[in-house]
Amino acid sequence: MKILVSGGAGFIGSHIVDRLISLGHEVFVIDNLLTGSKDNLNPKAIFYELDITNLKDIEKVFKENNFDYVFHTAAGYLVQSIENPQRDLAINAMGTLNICELAKKYKIKKIIYSNSGGASYGEPIKLPFTEDHPMKPLNPYGASKGVAELYLYMYYHNYGVNYTSLRYGNVYGPRQNPKLEGGVVSVFLDAFIKGEQPIMRSDGTPTRDYVYVDDVVDANILAMTLGKPDGYHVATGKEVSVIELVSVMQKVLGINIGVKQGPPRIGDIQSAVFSIEKIKKDLNWEPKTSLEEGIKKTIYWMREFQNKKL
């Protein structure tokens, strides 16, 4: 099949591209390289350096190719959303609206959308989060990602554009850029590997649900055929504090380096953990990678990557 991956040079998108190509699909990538990198691109993918906010440009790609599916992973990132909420809204909301319009016009079988879980929900009313939790985001990124899913819902109900929205926990793994995306695993590991103290923007008690990128890719592939037009959590269902996360990292690395205390980040919530019962039932998916094993794999990649950059 012919499949388009928006944001296919980015962290999660590039892993989806690799898996799709390994399964024998013809894969096309649209990416403006804002957070993505050509280093992440699979050489077998057909690449268009374009911005999804430019409807005219990306329509040419849809018109020239008869896509079966679209994996929509292109997005801004949390830090940028606070500094430039207008740009964040354009990428996440307008970009998704453009994808919806083209999916309707060119009869795409399904859009598989990469959404954020905790950022879209805001402070939990109860834990674990279930998919019916109200969306009350506390930062621009969460707001724009949540709005994008509402467009997908609307296009399905009004025009029959099929979709599945995957709401991620804190995804980590190889290719996550510590300087851009702000994932705590990549940021902390980058500092620890360099023998530096990372900045902890809390007292260490906030909790998150950390899910390894390969498990996220598994969920995306299953969503092609099994996902309903609805939202699903892609997480582990396990609540891990920052203190616990640091402990696992230091154990794997065999180090004992402290952390620096920094100011909290705007819009960060205290606790997040996700129910995964719905995705287990509908997609027969559950995570395979433990936190310790995922961190080991991420450290291996970061060391290889840094050696290549030296």
| Residues carrying an active site annotation | 141
Q: 185 burial class (0-12, 13-18, 19+ CB within 10 angstroms)?
A: buried
In contact, 27 and 46? CB cutoff 8 Å: yes
Containing H/E element for 207? strand 207-208
Give the separation between CA 18 and CA 16, rounded to whole angstroms: 5
User: Residue 112: helix, strand or coil by DSSP?
Assistant: strand
Lookup: tokens for 172: 């980590």
- Bridge partners of 62, per DSSP, are none
Lookup: tokens for 275: 């129910």
| DSSP conformational letter for 265 | P
Task: Please calculate the CA angle 126-132-134 and round it to the nearest 5 degrees.
Answer: 70
Helical H runs in the chain? 11-22, 55-64, 78-83, 85-89, 95-105, 118-121, 140-159, 184-193, 213-226, 242-253, 277-283, 291-309
Give the separation between CA 304 and CA 197, rounded to whole angstroms: 21
Residue among 12, 46, 10 at smallest CA distance from 29: 46
Task: Name the one residue in this structure whose structure tokens are 């992973």.
Answer: 73
